[in-house]
Structure 1
Amino acid sequence: MAAPAGAAAETEPPVISVRGARATLGARPVLRGVDLTVRRGEVVALLGANGSGKSTAVRSVIGQVPLAAGEIRLFGDPLRRFRQWSRLGYVPQRTTAASGVPATVREVVSAGRLSRTRLGWASRADKEAVQRVIDLVGLGDRARDSVSALSGGQHQRVLIARALAAQPDLLIMDEPMAGVDLASQEILAHTLREQVAHGTTVLLVLHELGPLEPLIDRAVVLRDGCVVHDGPPPEAVGQHALPGHDHVHPHAADEPLRTGLLT
């Protein structure tokens, strides 16, 4: 996948197009008319405080959360008619690689390649693709190990390798750095740099930019289910520095003022 020229990307349908998205969880409105466009080759970060609707937005994009109103298109096709799921890799938020089932690193990552295998038989090319992404995330020496023996950061690397095994055109990651040690964060940043260099489009839900900051083309900030910023990433990513943050707080006199990161 070669990275497109800017002009060429503008003439194509967006990889992700969200228009007027409204969604509820239970009776609570979570998305309140969200618009989001991600073009081929872009790396877009979705930022905002907890409860702002970030994870619901990406889960709506992949069809896990139905919309009450609005429209989503992937690669130009309405979501309800989209069938090319091998073009999309998804890393969910805070899950485990094995889900309680004993499995090796290679077995878990190979599962991500199933959409490209024929009749369930892994070809030499399939096996090479799986090994390549295992090496890419720095787990080549752990390929035969059970994922139950891995650290939290290594689990996250396995999930990312699984998403990359099918060589997707679009990679969506929900809080990939959450709870991950610094060494794994650096490896994940390197992995994403490799994918972006080959033209992969990336949408990231992030708590803070961290080592990924140099890769981010655009930041979309949500607040209370609405887009309050779509443009260059904020220089500081603390909640109080985000565009659209209300600097007048209704804190009670005996309530400590909350500062710091997006909490």
Structure 2
Amino acid sequence: MTTEPVITLRGVRAELGSRPVLRGIDLTVRRGEVVALLGANGSGKSTAVRTVIGQVPVTAGEVELFGTERRRFRDWARVGYVPQRTTAAGGVPATVTEVVSSGRLARTRFGLFRKGDREAVRRSLELVGMADRAKDSVDALSGGQHQRVLIARALASEPDLLIMDEPMAGVDLASQEVLAETLRTQVDRGATVLLVLHELGPLEPLIDRAVVLRDGCVLHDGPPPEAVGQHALPGHDHVHPHAPADAGPIRTGLLS
């Protein structure tokens, strides 16, 4: 593995409305790494990845992609982004193939699809186990199938960097296992991956590093927590049922 940085955040601050959400984040993701962003709801995980792709403006600090300032970066075909699960077609009637094909547009000339583009779309559908639903309307899909389509759309451009915002949220176990295997295939071919996760789940064996956020700050950057589940994350506060009512939350480490 080379040490070339793919994502660099230096002192990044961001606001939503007038509320500070990121308070000086430093983060480097190097080529070939799989990095999980962990933290409680509201800790700034999704905002952090959205600053990387330019959906949230930064109020201070620097963001770089592949060594280029993000505002000057143009090679977006190298980046695949899977947002938090939404309606894949945005309410517009569309087939599975049409949605996945939209992820290939950055690689085409003037939006014209050639044989290689169609093959890339087909391969992406096969990777996520949705080739048999290629002609179906996305409106007919289950939540887990929807998520697979969004991931296939991100894979269609054959990206060097894959950014995924809670890809396992609300997804059945069978789809989680398909997604974990899909991700393993991408890692094996050398892709760099940044994931926002609520818990590690089936992806745990793939994660090289965990970055834990709390209140918009990096609290931990290193080996992932061994135990799985929100209650096992470092710093999760909870009241045990056998604890006295006035005992307050039990603090278990880094996250709250």
**1:208 is aligned to 2:208:** no
1:34 aligned to 25, 36, 45, which one? 25
Gaps of 5+ in 2: none
8 Å contact kept, 2:200–2:229: no
Equivalences for 1:79-228 in 2 at 5 Å? 79-228=70-219
Displacement of 1:25 in angstroms is 1.2
Q: Distance in 1 between matches of 2:123 and 2:113?
A: 15
Displacement of 1:223 in angstroms is 0.6
Counterpart residue identity of residue 131, structure 1: R
**1:233 is aligned to 2:221:** no
Displacement of 1:256 in angstroms is 8.6
TM-score (norm 1): 0.89
8 Å contact kept, 2:238–2:249: no
Counterpart residue identity of residue 121, structure 2: V
Q: Distance in 2 between matches of 1:257 and 1:246?
A: 9
Displacement of 1:28 in angstroms is 1.5
8 Å contact kept, 1:147–1:155: yes
Counterpart residue identity of residue 37, structure 1: T
Equivalence for 2:49: 58
Q: Distance in 2 between matches of 1:259 and 1:179?
A: 27
8 Å contact kept, 1:239–1:259: no
Displacement of 1:117 in angstroms is 1.1
Displacement of 1:119 in angstroms is 2.2
SS in 2 for 1:41: coil
Displacement of 1:246 in angstroms is 7.1
SS in 2 for 1:184: helix
Q: Distance in 2 between matches of 1:32 and 1:185?
A: 32
Displacement of 1:259 in angstroms is 10
Deviations 1:51-72 (A, max 9, x none): 0000000000111111111111
SS in 2 for 1:51: coil
TM-score (norm 2): 0.92
